[in-house]
Amino acid sequence: MVLNNMIWLTDSRQVITDPQHSIFFAIRGDRHDGHQYISDLYARGVRQFVVERSAMQADWELLPDATFTAVDNVLQALQKEAAQHRQQFQIPVVGITGSNGKTIVKEWLAQLLGGGLSPTDFEIARSPKSYNSQVGVPLSVHQLNETHTLGIFEAGISKPHEMAALEPIIRPTIGVFTNIGTAHDEGFKSAKQKVAEKIRLFTHAQTLIYRADYPDIDEEVNLLLKAVNPGINLVRWSMGDVDAEYTVEVRENVLHISHKGQKKLTLTLPFSDPASVENLVHCLLVLIQLGLTDEEQLQKRLNRIRPVSMRLELKEGILNSVLIDDSYNNDVAGLQLALNFLNQQRTRPRQVVVLSDVLQSGQPESDLYAQIGQIITEQHPDQFVGIGPVMKNQASHFPSNSLFYNDTDAFLADFQSDLFRDAVVLVKGARPFAFERIANRLQRKVHGTVLHINLNALTHNLNYYRAKAGKSKIMVMVKAFAYGSGSAEVAQLLQFNRVDYLAVAYADEGVALRQNGIDLPIMVMNPAVETFATLLEYRLEPEIYSMRLLREWGKWVAGKERSLFHLKIDTGMHRLGFLPDELPEVIRYLNEHSGLQVATVFSHLVGADESEFNSFSREQFDRFVQATKMLEKGLGYQPTRHLLNSAGIVRFPEFRLDMVRLGIGLYGIESSRIEPGQVLPVGTLRTVVSQIKTVRAGDTVGYSRRGVLDHDARIATLAIGYADGYDRRFGNGVGEIWVNGTLCPTVGNICMDMTMIDVTNARVSEGDDVEVFGQNLSVSELTKRIDTIAYELLTSVSERVKRVFYTE
């Protein structure tokens, strides 16, 4: 295959800008098979496909002009093509691996070495975002072209032998091993095995930079890597804990680097926290290896460093708009990713794209903007806004109704708010254009309490339970505002990830999803007769749990060709549902009303989250199976069967049947407690410090003088109260707030809109963000404090609390 000039596609859902020059690699994964989407891609104009011989289908011969390249393994073919592409370029390539910091180091190296601000700057090709996987690395390296003078690529692995596939694709000349931590420990027998696998990236590297303070890295590099690559130049550095070629010390934001005992560099740092210092030292040592050693020039380059935005953020905007904030980065690969994310958001009827000039691409301007113009034209936004002098000069490549401005100031001076009404707005700009000013103008202003929803964590959790479910379908619960996370946005992600069904509690929740572009089948668990017309209008399917409701539904849909509903069986919960001895009457009624069709039949386990109820759960399963057999025999067809909730999916894999129901587990709570470390927290609730004051011992804080101080204290008032969902039971020291690394107890009663905490032992200032729950203070820990369940805490977060959705 000769594919260098083709656009490589691996995801059928992504934006296709030039289908005639695109080729789709039909990769088989644990959860998806690309071969299933070939007909859809053909309909969208793609004609080139790489498929596996074992998956060839006869009906593909009916697709005129389609070309199929059959291989044994599509992923390996993709990787082989990328490795052959890499061999064409004799330029420095930096390869980065490690447990943490890979993307930060990559992005900071790009800031330090690119941009065209110095004659010694490079034209850089780098991984988009964190494209470091078995698929992401080949796509990243495929960007290399004859204009590039430096490549910077990161590689991540989760199990043995993966790095052996990535090494020939990146083939770094300079390696960086950032650090070693616990990420992906489950895929390896030991930390040493994980290090040994990661250093395979450097088997042909000329230089490796790493921190010698990590003994596992230092040992494995010297024992294993030197054995296979004896000529490699090891650039070891230390904070002084071990003997190394470079010694690093930080005093008051000033970095001192000594080389073999001799002072070499003194540089002022833009950041001084330990993680940033480690990442910056790795970057500086790369610059030194590339011949950039002048202290004054290095300081100028360090002054370029800006925080790296690791995520796309989805925020509420003005005039009923939704804002996708990607205001710190702009390149062609990143634009494709951002547009793919934009296409997932169908909660508003319009799309607006605001884009800055693309810097340091290495391509001739006319070619670059012809490409970008084609990408934007294929996207069909309702409005495109281009900002920057080059973009304005290249206006002919963009849609005719586009607006252009020389700079951000000019755009803000001519700000037309109606352009953004009822729209999903993507704001994507290179750092020098300060697009955060545009994002701030577009963002709806609300009070300072924010629930941050990590869409990557949601996807991880979905995939965890999907793997547990095996071949069974998945219904996902998005009732109660998606357990407080935001129904429409979560449903968009689930639709993008092709779940089979959604479930809501009430009809109005289903209507809201339909109005926000959700096409998946939706079950309504608490239907009422007065909502039946709404159910039919919006293609919602009711749960039917009694003969009264079944007869009412039958009357309402009489004369309809087919009406789907979901039949609830009571196997022991004794809440809603038909008892087994009522099923003969149900069968008779359904046989008399042929337009009624049971889409699914289901029941609910009483105690799937508790091992003490295992025997009763098995009784329920047996009752359910007997009931479904009776139904199948009486109706003459087999409805889809589902019994398991989130805890049951983990505890009872033998009960999976045709479908499972995923609820609280999606949102980061592994309620069976069998594999709690396998799901990720999804929500982080943060608020702001409104005021700090010193209150003397013996004084009281809050209503009813409940908060009596036994010491002089600094008291911080936070912008969160029980109206926001922070339970009154957390008052008087029961609850704690994570404040810049310190847990601070509540003082006095929780107020409607405010909470007071004792910050005497914390470093904090007015205006600081603090964490109510999230990475540092888990929902599970909070539930223990007030003897409740995670469901209550998550669903209590008020809708007045702003939700910010982000993807990294």
Catalytic residues: 479, 703
Dist CA 789 CA 670 (whole Å): 12
Are 233 and 208 in contact, with CB atoms under 8 Å apart?
yes
Helix axes 365-379, 332-344, angle to 10 degrees: 10
Helix (H, G, I), strand (E, B) or coil at 550: helix
Taking alpha carbons only, the member of 604, 638, 645 closest to residue 475 is 645
CA distances from 291 to 43, 175, 238, 288 (A): 52, 16, 21, 5
- The single-letter DSSP state of residue 598 is E
Round the CA-based radius of gyration of the chain to a whole number and report it: 29
Q: Which residues are CB-neighbours of 808 under 8 A, at least 6 positions away?
A: 129, 130, 310, 311, 454, 456
Burial of 678 by CB count in 10 Å (0-12 exposed, 13-18 middle, 19+ buried)?
middle
Other beta carbons within 10 angstroms of residue 85's beta carbon come to 19
Other beta carbons within 10 angstroms of residue 635's beta carbon come to 16
Helix extents (H) in 309-454: 332-344, 365-379, 389-393, 408-413, 436-442
Amino acid in position 795: T
Q: Can you list the positions of beta strands (E) in 19-61?
A: 22-25, 48-52
Are 250 and 269 in contact, with CB atoms under 8 Å apart?
yes
Taking alpha carbons only, the member of 393, 394, 386 closest to residue 433 is 386
- CA 604-606-608 angle, 5° bins: 95
Are 212 and 244 in contact, with CB atoms under 8 Å apart?
yes
Dist CA 581 CA 524 (whole Å): 25
DSSP-based helix, strand, coil % in the chain, nearest 5: 40, 25, 40
Q: Can you list the positions of beta strands (E) in 603-741?
A: 640-642, 659-662, 683-695, 700-701, 707-708, 713-718, 736-739
Are 35 and 51 in contact, with CB atoms under 8 Å apart?
yes
Phi, psi of 647 (to 5 degrees): -65, -40
Q: What is the dihedral of CA 110, 113, 117, 118, to 10 degrees?
A: -170
- CA 205-210-213 angle, 5° bins: 150
Dist CA 742 CA 709 (whole Å): 19
- The single-letter DSSP state of residue 251 is E
Are 96 and 157 in contact, with CB atoms under 8 Å apart?
no
Are 387 and 353 in contact, with CB atoms under 8 Å apart?
no
Dist CA 647 CA 679 (whole Å): 12
What would you measure as the largest C-alpha separation in the chain, in angstroms?
Answer: 93
Dist CA 546 CA 94 (whole Å): 66
